[in-house]
């Protein structure tokens, strides 16, 4: 897998992580349940759901933009909202977080490395 082929992988469901752990690590049912609870406790499930909701919202905003007359104040406002949403949705999937957990989130973000699509 590399920054280009990562786009071929399914995403957005915690059970995909569970299946990978079972296949690659040979976890038993008890260990898989523990992993499910870890994903839940760390907010992974919430963020998969939030990402799905974000994409739905982005589509709604895009539809609003299509219905507006280009150049109007309302069109520019919707475009102002839509463009960063589009940017976030299309950013690289290859994000490597640093191994150290900083107290300040900005320091954690500074440790991130993104490969593939530019931000």
Q: Is the pLDDT of residue 16 over 80?
A: yes
111 or 23: which carries more pLDDT confidence? Answer: 23
Of all helices (H) and strands (E), which one includes residue 50?
helix 44-67
Q: Is the pLDDT of residue 30 over 50?
A: yes
**What is the DSSP secondary structure assignment for residue 7, as one 8-state letter?**
G
Q: Which pLDDT value is given to residue 93?
A: 86
Q: What is the pLDDT of residues 31-89, one digit of tens each?
A: 999 999 999 999 999 999 999 999 999 999 999 999 999 999 999 999 999 999 999 98
The domain in which residue 43 lies consists of: 5-115
Q: Which pLDDT value is given to residue 54?
A: 96
Tell me the C-alpha distance between 88 and 61, whole Å.
Answer: 14
Tell me the C-alpha distance between 20 and 15, whole Å.
Answer: 9
Distances (CA, A) of 54 to 50, 57, 84, 104: 6, 5, 12, 25
77 or 112: which carries more pLDDT confidence? Answer: 77
Q: Which pLDDT value is given to residue 119?
A: 46
Beta carbons within 8 Å of 52's beta carbon, 6+ residues apart: 12
Q: Which pLDDT value is given to residue 115?
A: 83
């Amino acid at each position: 897998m590399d920054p280009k082929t990562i786009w071929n992988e399914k995403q957005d469901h915690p059970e995909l992580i569970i299946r990978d752990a079972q296949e690659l690590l040979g976890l038993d049912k008890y260990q898989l349940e523990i992993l499910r609870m870890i994903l839940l406790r760390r907010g992974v499930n919430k963020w998969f759901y939030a990402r799905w909701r974000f994409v739905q919202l982005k589509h709604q905003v895009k539809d609003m933009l299509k219905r507006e007359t280009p150049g109007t104040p309302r069109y520019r406002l919707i475009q102002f909202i839509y463009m960063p949403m589009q940017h976030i949705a299309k950013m690289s999937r290859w994000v490597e977080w640093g191994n150290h957990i900083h107290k300040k989130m900005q320091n954690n973000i500074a440790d991130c490395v993104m490969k593939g699509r530019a931000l």
